[in-house]
Amino acid sequence: MKVKTAPAPTAPRERRVLPRARRSGRRGRIVAALAVLTSLSMLLHGWIPNRIANFGSFVQTFLPWTGAAVVLLLAAALLRRSRVALIAVLLPALTWAALHGSTFLDRGDARAADLTVVTHNVDDVNPDPAGTARALAASGAQLIALEELTEPAVHQYEQILAETHPYHVVEGTVGLWSTYPLRDTAPVAIMPWTRALRATADTPAGPLTVYVAHLPSVRVRLGSGFTTERRNAAAGRLAAELAAAPAGRTLLVGDFNGTTDDRALAPVMGRFRSAHDAAGAGFGFTWPKTFPVARIDQILVRDLTPVSAWTLPATPSDHLPVAASLRF
């Protein structure tokens, strides 16, 4: 009879235990790498190419929202309990603060203003043009620029604003109402149909050239990405007009369907100073009004000093109106 004997016990395999610091480092590698990439995208956004789906312009349009990426990275680092990741997240956090921290400071000027201007894309399906006109007139602005006008609505804006702004010009789908006399008014050809105008306002401090423009819309599509070609082409024609214009006090206002960070609009905006960037409160996002994510409505100045800039309360439009006070 064979007697089965139990196998000799084997020594337990020695388990390799990594030091806590090394384990923390391994857990945080991906988060740390993403933190560095986020910081580089903020610092070098001008180098992100537009050749593929206009991705560079897309990033620049929503550049302030990189702050949301910093918050997500911080949450991920905390969940991973990674010291390395937490340290790495400091890099994009400090970068974002350097780029956008001044947004939360008081950039206004205590001096009195000489002029207040308002611009508003009033929306071609605005159900209450008369109420919108009253709200804009109540701002006290001497100049009110409107975009996306339709022929039926124009008559209502003319009727309401005539009480406070007796001078006006409408060219195509854009218009300008003024408490000062207007002269030398003309359409500006940036598209096959009229979406820009030029006028001279005779203010008490002298003539002021005013441009009102509405550049074409942009879309985000799966097949083609950030479609900006029509807008960029119109911006190029507007830039050529501005380059040929005489020097002096000039206002450029309207819906540009792009932010001041977007390099594609540099030929236009590079000649001017943003009133909001100089003296605005917060980011001043204007679109869409229900949850604004970008400031695409602009008040740009040349040979004028911004005193303050802000968004006005919502109207029935899908954009928020913007205002700025200026000194000559």
At residue 111, the pLDDT reads 74
Q: What is the percent of the chain where pLDDT is above 70?
A: 91
Least confident window among 17-31, 50-64, 133-147: 17-31
pLDDT in tens, 242-294: 999 989 999 999 999 999 999 999 999 988 999 999 999 899 999 999 999 99
Task: Tell me the CA distances in angstroms from 140 to 135, 137, 166, 178, one per residue in order.
Answer: 10, 6, 14, 11
**Closest of 71, 97, 90 to residue 32, by C-alpha:** 90
Q: Across residues 174-194, what is the average pLDDT?
A: 97
**For 11-20, 57-66, 104-113, 243-252, which range has the lowest pLDDT when averaged over its residues?**
11-20
Mean pLDDT of the chain: 91
pLDDT for res 1:
44
The strands making up 182-187's β-sheet, listed across from edge to edge, are 182-187, 196-203, 206-214, 250-255, 297-302, 273-274
Confidence (pLDDT) at 220: 83
Give the per-residue pLDDT at 6. Answer: 55
> Lowest mean pLDDT: which of 114-118, 277-281, 314-318, 323-327?
277-281
Cβ pair 194, 178 in contact under 8 A: no
For the residues 116-123, what does the mean pLDDT come to?
98
Reported pTM:
0.88
Per-residue pLDDT reduced to its tens digit, 14-35 = 555 445 545 455 668 999 999 9
If phi > 0 it is left, if psi is from -120 to 50 it is alpha, else beta; for residue 17 that is beta
| CA–CA separation, 328 and 305 (whole Å) | 6
Q: Name the nearest CA neighbour of 285 among 309, 302, 264, 308.
A: 309
Smallest CA-to-CA distance from 143 within 196, 213, 203, 183 is with 203
Percent of the residues in the chain that have a pLDDT greater than 90, as a whole number:
81
Closest CA relative to residue 238, chosen from 193, 190, 296: 190
- Sign, CA dihedral 83-44-225-271, equals positive
112 band by pLDDT with thresholds 50, 70 and 90: confident
